[in-house]
Amino acid sequence: MFNLEQYCQLVLKYRLLLAKGSYTRTHSLRRLIRELGEVDPRVLVLVNDLRNLHYIARLEEAYIASRYLPVDYTVEEVRDIARFVLEVFKPIVERG
């Protein structure tokens, strides 16, 4: 789960670096998505659509949990989040 979150975070920061020359020093996917939304409003569907926001929140939760909490995820949970990242997040963020 942590690796999926890191992928999302790094892709957002990369896109922001290309678009703006810098990015906010944060680990919040929501904040990075909103910042990228200033340049490409199409990415805002990731935080404005409640189904997508649920997945983004779970990914943020995974980052925090990996550092501070002993959380276990089921294989099904990870597969579901991975499906979201590959089929929804990636196409939206990388279409630049």
pLDDT number for residue 1: 93
Which residues are CB-neighbours of 77 under 8 A, at least 6 positions away?
Answer: 1
User: What six digits make up the tokens of 60?
Assistant: 């943020």
What φ, ψ does residue 36 adopt, rounded to 5°?
A: -65, -30
pLDDT number for residue 68: 83
pLDDT tens per residue, range 4-48 = 999 999 999 999 999 999 998 999 999 999 999 999 999 999 999
* Helix/strand/coil (H/E/C) assignment for every residue in the chain: CHHHHHHHHHHHHHHHHHHHCCCCCCCCHHHHHHHHHCCCHHHHHHHHCHHHHHHHHHHHHHHHHHHHCCCCCCHHHHHHHHHHHHHHHHHHHHCC
Per domain, the residue ranges of the chain are: 2-94
